[in-house]
Structures are given as structure tokens and as C-alpha cells.
């Protein structure tokens, strides 16, 4: 594990970030209609326009933090 570029703690952050991003994409999904002549205002609600992109961006930030996390002296002692 000494030559691994990402620490186990960082890997956990990356996995948590991926889970958060998947939750954001789930919030973004839906809102389709079967009849193309009917306009569906549900496409433009708060969940799809604001909440889902914020959740996805939070997941990206968590992944970046997990990758950029520098191991401390206590992390090296745990291994």
C-alpha cells in the first residue's frame, strides 16, 4: 500500500462522492410525458433546476477532496 497514489481514506471519499453524484442524477431524472403535444411544467421545478445540480457539484467537490487529500503522519502510522 506504500506505492498507492491514493490513501484508503481518500478512496472512501471518492466512493462517497460517487454515491452523492448518483443521488444528484436520480434527483435530475424523470419528468417525461408520453404525448409530445403536452407541455410538462414539472421539468422546470426546483428539484431539477437547483437541487440536483448542487448535489452533483457537491459530489464532484468530495471526489476532488478525496483525490487531493495529502496523507498525514497519523495516516501513515495506521497502515
The predicted-structure confidence for 16-68, as pLDDT tens digits, reads as follows 999 999 999 999 987 777 887 888 777 888 999 999 999 999 999 999 999 98
pLDDT range class, residue 7, cuts 50, 70, 90: confident
Model pTM score: 0.79
SS3 of residue 49 by DSSP: helix
Residue 74 has pLDDT above 90, yes or no: no
Q: What angle do CA 67, 72, 78 make, to 5 degrees?
A: 100
Answer yes or no: are the C-beta atoms of 66 and 13 closer than 8 Å: yes
How far apart are alpha carbons 68 and 15 in whole angstroms?
A: 14
Q: What is the pLDDT of residue 73?
A: 63
Answer yes or no: are the C-beta atoms of 29 and 56 closer than 8 Å: no
Q: For residues 1-13, give the mean pLDDT.
A: 80
Amino acid at each position: 500500500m506504500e506505492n498507492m497514489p491514493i490513501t484508503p481514506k481518500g478512496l472512501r471519499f471518492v466512493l462517497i462522492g460517487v454515491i452523492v453524484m448518483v443521488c444528484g442524477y436520480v434527483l435530475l431524472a424523470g419528468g417525461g410525458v408520453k404525448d409530445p403535444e403536452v407541455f410538462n411544467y414539472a421539468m422546470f421545478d426546483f428539484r431539477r433546476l437547483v437541487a440536483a445540480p448542487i448535489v452533483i457539484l457537491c459530489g464532484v467537490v468530495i471526489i476532488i477532496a478525496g483525490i487531493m487529500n495529502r496523507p498525514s503522519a497519523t495516516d501513515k502510522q495506521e497502515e
